[in-house]
Homo-oligomer: A and B are copies of this chain.
Amino acid sequence: MAVTGSVEGRVLPDLAFVGEVAQQLRVDGIRASTKAGSGHPTSSMSAADLIAVLAARHLRYDFADPGNPNNDHLIFSKGHASPLLYALYKACGAITDAELMTYRTFGSRLQGHPTPVIPWVDVATGSLGQGLGVGVGVALAGRYLDKLPFHVWALCGDSEITEGSIWEALDHASHYRLNNLTAIFDINRLGQRGPTELEWDLDAYRRRVEAFGCRAMVIDGHDLQAVDVALSAAREERDAPVVVIARTIKGKGFSEIENKDGWHGRALPADMAERAIAELGGIRDLRMEVQQPGAGQPAISHDGRPAVTLPAYSKGDKVATRKAYGDTLKALGARPDVVALDGEVSNSTHAEEFKLAYPERFFEMYIAEQQLVASTVGISVRGYVAFGSTFAAFFSRAYDFIRMAGVSEVSIRLSGSHAGCEIGADGPSQMALEDIAAMRAVHSSTVLYPSDAVSTAKLVREMAGTRGITYIRTTRGAYPVIYDNAEEFPVGGAKVLRSSSKDVVALIGAGVTLHNCLAAADQLATEGIDARVIDLYSVKPIDVETLRDASRATDGNLVVVEDHYPQGGIGAAVMEALATDDPPHIEHLAVRGLPRSGSPAELMEAAGIDTAAIVSAARRASGATGGR
């Protein structure tokens, strides 16, 4: 069938040509994975027609200018279909066949699952159910921030549709009327170890998609004209996100494996590959020219930084660091490229201040932390400085998204409030007691834990300019401001608050325990014990020099106290920093046991992280009770 179309005076490839390209994509996916000895060719073959039609006749993308703000976005939520994606890059002339054949080899940018080391990839995928959510974030930016008409296309496998995150994504996409987003569901019926739950019950998918407020288009994913019509309609849709529900065949094009179980994630052995390529019509070397994006400028400029006036606080005033986060976020809102998101708790996290001041740059994510992080990532992909906030404990709901953001090496800012047992009566479900460990172990993360409002303000400003996954941990209760407004707090620094040449022990805390350390130092002074006090506001990266100095000055007697479980947190961070040379003795105070409801004071005492516990530990560390 020869069907042509014309867009802006340019003749699009007809579907006969597109069909040939689709076969080439299949052939090349097989060649690459067979050469690598691993990969997911059958998962790639089912989507080849969809992607060929999309790229040939609908996608608007300039491979020579991946940073063009008008580019469409193509996200392979089914990241394991990387053979298809890379074969597409070759067909579009973006990479050579020689590079395609480096698939999955050490040093190649064509990895097993796509990552942004490839310039045309927004975010790393491969953890199913995430790409669509990030696409929602990109589409939010496109519609509400950039106000550019680019389209976001997300290719999803059917196995990943059971991820709850897919439904958070579609729910938010419809709530925010993201008509600039099209999800393409590649319904090939077969998962990794057998049939999917719904198999080819396309109507079941349709009912779910429609119930979630999206427009569904059910098609045969191998009928090129049907695909073409659907994708045209998808871009023209005005009111809602579109989900193209495409019935496909896993391994389509090679009769020996079509629709057969047992071929997920298996590269074809060489002899089978040869037969497959023959059946697919042989190796081709077609190239297609993808339509160029339109010309437009984002409505918000990323250049030009207006002056930001940070909030100022008075020493001695009691201000919760979560409040200071809110004040500072609002101050940062003077920058037009700063965006905030929150998960239904903005009156607790104080993101509400920003929301009230800059409603057009605030996105409510409701109780859906996976989508909260995914949207933060997607908006950051479009160059915005995006801050996402919720209770620190609830970021654990999005830990796989945070992990993958690290793999993507994107820059996002996360604020987790209500840290530790300090929160009091709400009890352990609301307490973050493992977040420092979890966040330190994320690739490219920065972990900040300020003790007062001034340092919070400075660090939140630093976050805006720090790359990677930046996480700040804030406290529910209000504690005294202890720093001058003029004080600076570089990431990777620490503050020595008490120091003398006679220090016999160093007390190291952060957040609420820093205040306990100060009180403990006061008490120890009355006993003739000089204690250094260090505010370790930057847990990662950590100020090794200050720690080393303290260790030398005190003959290796440190007390580290954290409102966090004993594993992997501030104690571990200090130990890791000083492990190689002269590791100090460390009395490590942390929350041992499961906290309960109670007042902050009762809970910190029960946890052994209050002032009295620090005093006792300091006496032990300094040998005041008769030595170790």
Q: Is the CB of B197 within 8 A of A597?
A: no
A302 at the interface (CB under 8 A from B): no
A583 at the interface (CB under 8 A from B): yes
CA distance A98 to B167 in the complex (A): 44
Taking CB atoms and an 8 Å cut-off, the chain A residues in 81-120 that contact chain B are 104-108, 110-113, 115, 117
CA distance A425 to B40 in the complex (A): 12
Q: Is the CB of B197 within 8 A of A208?
A: no
Contact with B along A186-219 (1 / 0, CB 8 A): 0000011110110000001001101111000000
Residues of B contacting A367 in the complex (Cβ-Cβ under 8 angstroms)? 128-129, 159-160, 162-163, 191
How many copies of the chain does the oligomer comprise?
A: 2
Contact with B along A33-63 (1 / 0, CB 8 A): 0001111000000000000000000000000
CA distance A107 to B346 in the complex (A): 31
Contact of A580 among B396, B587, B594 (CB under 8 A): B587
Contact of A106 with B598 at beta-carbon distance under 8 Å, contacts A344-B191, A366-B191, A572-B567 already known:
yes
Q: Is the CB of B567 within 8 A of A540?
A: yes
A254 at the interface (CB under 8 A from B): no
Q: Is the CB of A397 within 8 A of B399?
A: yes
Residues of B contacting A598 in the complex (Cβ-Cβ under 8 angstroms)? 104-107
CA distance A485 to B544 in the complex (A): 46
Q: Is the CB of B104 within 8 A of A597?
A: yes
Contact with B along A418-431 (1 / 0, CB 8 A): 00000011111110
A residues at B contact (CB < 8 Å)? 36-39, 79, 104-108, 110-113, 115, 117, 124-129, 159-160, 162-168, 171, 175, 191-194, 196-197, 204, 207-208, 210-213, 344-348, 352, 364, 366-371, 393-394, 396-397, 399-400, 403-404, 406-407, 409, 424-430, 433-434, 437-438, 440-444, 540, 564-569, 571-573, 575-576, 579-588, 594, 596-599, 602-603, 606, 628
Q: Is the CB of B112 within 8 A of A425?
A: yes
Residues of B contacting A430 in the complex (Cβ-Cβ under 8 angstroms)? 112-113, 126-127
Q: Which 10 A-B pairs have the closest CB atoms?
A: A164-B164, A126-B429, A568-B568, A106-B598, A434-B441, A575-B575, A572-B572, A583-B583, A437-B441, A111-B597
Shortest beta-carbon distance from A548 to chain B in Å: 14
In the complex, 20 of the A-B residue pairs with CB atoms within 8 angstroms, ordered by the A residue number, are A37-B425, A38-B424, A39-B425, A111-B427, A112-B427, A117-B596, A127-B397, A159-B367, A162-B368, A163-B397, A164-B368, A207-B207, A433-B443, A438-B441, A441-B564, A441-B565, A443-B594, A566-B576, A571-B576, A580-B587
Contact of A115 among B366, B427, B584, B602 (CB under 8 A): B427
Shortest beta-carbon distance from A226 to chain B in Å: 23
Closest B-chain residue to A40, C-beta based? Answer: B426
Residues of B contacting A369 in the complex (Cβ-Cβ under 8 angstroms)? 400
Contact of A370 with B191 at beta-carbon distance under 8 Å, contacts A112-B597, A567-B572 already known:
no
Contact of A404 among B175, B404, B429 (CB under 8 A): B429
Contact of A606 among B106, B443, B602 (CB under 8 A): B106
Q: Is the CB of B568 within 8 A of A441?
A: yes
Residues of B contacting A113 in the complex (Cβ-Cβ under 8 angstroms)? 426-430
Q: Is the CB of B437 within 8 A of A344?
A: no
Q: Is the CB of A429 within 8 A of B443?
A: no
Contact of A193 among B347, B426, B442, B594 (CB under 8 A): B347
Residues of B contacting A37 in the complex (Cβ-Cβ under 8 angstroms)? 425
Shortest beta-carbon distance from A284 to chain B in Å: 26
Closest B-chain residue to A207, C-beta based? Answer: B211
Contact of A192 with B426 at beta-carbon distance under 8 Å, contacts A397-B400, A575-B576, A588-B580 already known:
no
CA distance A585 to B175 in the complex (A): 56
Q: Is the CB of B403 within 8 A of A400?
A: no
Residues of B contacting A404 in the complex (Cβ-Cβ under 8 angstroms)? 429
Residues of B contacting A115 in the complex (Cβ-Cβ under 8 angstroms)? 427-429, 596
CA distance A269 to B569 in the complex (A): 39
Contact of A426 among B112, B197, B347, B602 (CB under 8 A): B112
Q: Is the CB of A400 within 8 A of B394?
A: yes
Residues of B contacting A125 in the complex (Cβ-Cβ under 8 angstroms)? 429
Contact of A175 with B193 at beta-carbon distance under 8 Å, contacts A366-B162, A429-B124, A567-B573 already known:
no
Residues of B contacting A197 in the complex (Cβ-Cβ under 8 angstroms)? 171, 175, 366
Closest B-chain residue to A560, C-beta based? Answer: B579
Residues of B contacting A175 in the complex (Cβ-Cβ under 8 angstroms)? 197
CA distance A438 to B567 in the complex (A): 9
Residues of B contacting A159 in the complex (Cβ-Cβ under 8 angstroms)? 344, 366-367
Shortest beta-carbon distance from A65 to chain B in Å: 25
CA distance A583 to B581 in the complex (A): 10
12 new A-B contacts at CB < 8 Å, known A575-B579, A583-B586: A106-B598, A164-B166, A164-B168, A164-B371, A192-B347, A193-B346, A437-B438, A568-B568, A568-B569, A579-B588, A580-B585, A581-B585
Contact of A586 with B596 at beta-carbon distance under 8 Å, contacts A400-B399, A438-B399 already known:
no
Closest B-chain residue to A425, C-beta based? Answer: B104
Shortest beta-carbon distance from A396 to chain B in Å: 4
Residues of B contacting A576 in the complex (Cβ-Cβ under 8 angstroms)? 566-567, 571-572, 575, 588
Q: Is the CB of B568 within 8 A of A572?
A: yes
CA distance A213 to B211 in the complex (A): 12
CA distance A434 to B108 in the complex (A): 24
